[in-house]
């Protein structure tokens, strides 16, 4: 069942508030009430992993270059991530969550989806269940969480974002359309910078305006599949599936060409763009993988994949590109016109000390003048392709 109108489904989304920074404020009373920034240290190459709500008042946010954060608030407390501690607290939180329901899908270290359908007889109405979740988490960890409850994942996630921090939002099935109507369309899943620009060009700012838009205009700008997806979200229709144990296993991107390609330079340039996109997602999600996958589809839908395992995990587009290109040039792949090309990364590192280094790129390619976080920042501000790392096409 996926319709927002179904009344027998209740999905909760639990999101810890400014998790890393809140852990530090909890454990260090002198940091409470002060702006706290967890990530790279000022003067180093790296980004913000988390910012306390006091720091957010200065415009500091996750993935911002640490140099930008320091310019905005030099008096903030700047700390390196303690991933071992955060992982331990996360395990505590999930143990608490599972005392409410065993149907829990971990979305990240600090958020989860829960299926609480049918628990009303045991724990009371959805609002009472949400309050009990928050109470138990705070009692066990002294941290606050925001909780959203609704008939599907989309509404639950938007609900947890709605009144942060320490919020509780319950959206009943007959309230879904009114809840969504005034929201910016950028709140919907899958709205990136390019899609946002398309909505701007169509004069669509809110979900209500998206609902009222002519289907033909949406399809012309976004394509039929994307237009249909956003219309469904605007109507509050989304998945209500909660799958325990499900986690992102890989990140990949691919491109289908309008005309089959034989030019090696064009293939390399497209692979470079795809590798940059995959690496950027990995850095944003604090992931580093060891297995690089190349996907190639030729005329007639003949499809091949090739993989290589690296000695060390990475989230660097240069490594992704070099490895994927070597898989193409050094393999036994036929030299035919290419219809589709793609690259992926998987097999994440589970070393907590290595994960901490993902926020500080000083140890990676120390002799390279281009900074990965600078690329991410420019891409966030101006869109993909405005700034890229220099890579030899022959690699």
Average pLDDT score over residue span 51-62: 95
Query: Both 92 and 220 in a single domain?
Result: yes
Q: Is residue 227 part of a domain?
A: yes
Q: Is residue 389 part of a domain?
A: no
Based on the structure, what is the number of domains in the chain? Answer: 3
pLDDT grade, residue 270 (50/70/90)?
very high
Query: Both 326 and 262 in a single domain?
Result: yes
Residue 322 backbone zone (phi > 0: left; psi -120 to 50: alpha; other: beta): alpha
Q: Is residue 372 part of a domain?
A: yes
Distance of CA 174 to the CA centre of its chain: 29
**Residues sharing a CB contact under 8 Å with residue 27, sequence separation 6 or more, in sequence order:** 85
| Residue 85 three-state SS | helix
Query: Both 145 and 195 in a single domain?
Result: yes
Closest to 31 measured CA to CA, from 40, 22, 39: 22
* Phi and psi, residue 376, nearest 5°: -60, -40
What is the pTM for the complete model shown? 0.69
Closest to 22 measured CA to CA, from 76, 74, 89, 67: 89
Q: Which residue has the higher pLDDT, 131 or 47?
A: 131
Q: Is residue 26 part of a domain?
A: yes
Closest to 319 measured CA to CA, from 336, 296, 297, 343: 343
Joined together, the tokens standing for residue 221 give 């700008």
Average pLDDT score over residue span 92-115: 93
CATH of residue 172's domain is 3.30.70.270
Quote the domain boundaries for residue 296: 250-382
Q: Is residue 171 part of a domain?
A: yes
Query: Both 43 and 144 in a single domain?
Result: no
Characterize 93-103 residue by residue with b for buried, 16 or more Cβ atoms within 10 angstroms of its Cβ, and e for exposed.
bbebbeebbeb
CATH of residue 367's domain is 3.30.1490.100
Query: Both 353 and 296 in a single domain?
Result: yes
Q: Does position 180 have pLDDT exceeding 80, yes or no? A: yes
CA-CA distance, 136 to 289, in Å (whole number)?
Answer: 34
pLDDT grade, residue 353 (50/70/90)?
very low
Q: Is residue 393 part of a domain?
A: no
Q: Is residue 293 part of a domain?
A: yes
* Block residue for tokens 């060009």: 201
Write out pLDDT tens, residues 27-49: 999 999 999 999 989 988 777 88
- Is 3 an active-site residue? no
CA-CA distance, 181 to 175, in Å (whole number)?
Answer: 10
Q: What is the pLDDT of residue 330?
A: 87
Residues 168, 174, 178, 181, Cα dihedral to 10°: 100
- Nearest 5°: the CA angle 296, 293, 354 is 160
Query: Both 115 and 234 in a single domain?
Result: yes
Cβ atoms of 312 and 350 closer than 8 Å: no
Query: Both 34 and 5 in a single domain?
Result: no
Closest to 389 measured CA to CA, from 263, 224, 260, 272: 272
Which of 111, 273, 317, 364 is labelled catalytic? 111
Write out pLDDT tens, residues 306-343: 999 999 889 888 999 999 999 999 888 888 899 889 99
Query: Both 370 and 263 in a single domain?
Result: yes
Question: What is each CA distance from 59 to 20, 53, 77, 186, 195, in whole angstroms?
Answer: 17, 10, 15, 19, 24
Joined together, the tokens standing for residue 115 give 């299926």
Query: Both 31 and 62 in a single domain?
Result: yes
Q: What is the pLDDT of residue 56?
A: 96
Q: What is the pLDDT of residue 386?
A: 44
Q: Indicate the helix (H) or strand (E) that contains 140.
A: helix 126-141
Q: Does position 221 have pLDDT exceeding 80, yes or no? A: yes
Query: Both 24 and 64 in a single domain?
Result: yes
Last residue of a domain, one of 61, 83, 105: 83
Last residue of a domain, one of 225, 246, 267: 246
Query: Both 254 and 359 in a single domain?
Result: yes
The mean pLDDT value of the chain amounts to 86
CATH of residue 73's domain is 3.40.1170.60
Q: Is residue 388 part of a domain?
A: no
Query: Both 256 and 202 in a single domain?
Result: no
Last residue of a domain, one of 197, 219, 246: 246
């Amino acid at each position: 069942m996926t319709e927002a109108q179904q009344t027998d489904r209740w999905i909760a989304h639990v999101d810890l508030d400014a998790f890393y920074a809140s852990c530090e404020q909890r454990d260090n009373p002198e940091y409470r009430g002060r702006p706290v920034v967890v990530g790279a240290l000022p003067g180093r190459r790296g980004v913000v992993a988390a910012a306390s709500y006091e720091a957010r008042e200065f415009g500091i946010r996750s993935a911002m270059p640490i140099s930008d954060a320091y310019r905005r608030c030099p008096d903030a407390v700047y700390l390196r991530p303690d991933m071992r501690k955060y992982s331990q607290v996360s395990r505590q939180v999930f143990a608490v969550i599972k005392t409410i329901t065993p149907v829990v899908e971990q979305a990240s270290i600090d958020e989860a989806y829960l299926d609480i359908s049918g628990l009303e007889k045991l724990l009371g109405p959805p609002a009472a269940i949400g309050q009990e979740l928050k109470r138990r988490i705070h009692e066990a960890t002294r941290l606050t969480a925001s909780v959203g409850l609704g008939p599907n994942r989309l509404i639950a996630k938007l609900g947890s974002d709605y009144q942060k921090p320490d919020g509780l939002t319950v959206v009943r099935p007959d309230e879904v359309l009114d809840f969504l109507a005034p929201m910016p369309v950028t709140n919907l899943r899958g709205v990136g910078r390019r899609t946002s620009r398309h909505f701007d060009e169509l004069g669509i700012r809110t979900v209500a305006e998206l609902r009222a838009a002519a289907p033909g205009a949406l399809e012309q700008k976004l394509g039929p599949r994307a237009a249909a997806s956003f219309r469904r979200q605007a109507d509050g229709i989304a998945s209500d599936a909660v799958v325990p144990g499900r986690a992102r296993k890989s990140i990949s991107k691919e491109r289908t060409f309008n005309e089959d390609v034989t030019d090696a330079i064009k293939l390399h340039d497209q692979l470079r763009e795809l590798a940059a996109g995959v690496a950027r997602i990995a850095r944003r999600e604090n992931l580093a993988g060891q297995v690089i996958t190349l996907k190639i589809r030729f005329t007639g839908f003949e499809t091949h994949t090739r993989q290589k395992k690296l000695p060390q995990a990475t989230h660097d587009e240069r490594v992704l590109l070099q490895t994927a290109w070597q898989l193409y040039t050094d393999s036994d792949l036929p030299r035919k016109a290419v219809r589709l090309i793609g690259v992926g990364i998987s097999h994440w590192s589970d070393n907590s000390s290595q994960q901490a280094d993902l926020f500080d790129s000083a140890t990676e390619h120390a002799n390279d003048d281009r900074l990965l976080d600078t690329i991410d920042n420019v891409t966030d501000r101006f869109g993909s392709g405005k700034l890229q790392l220099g890579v030899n096409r022959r690699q």
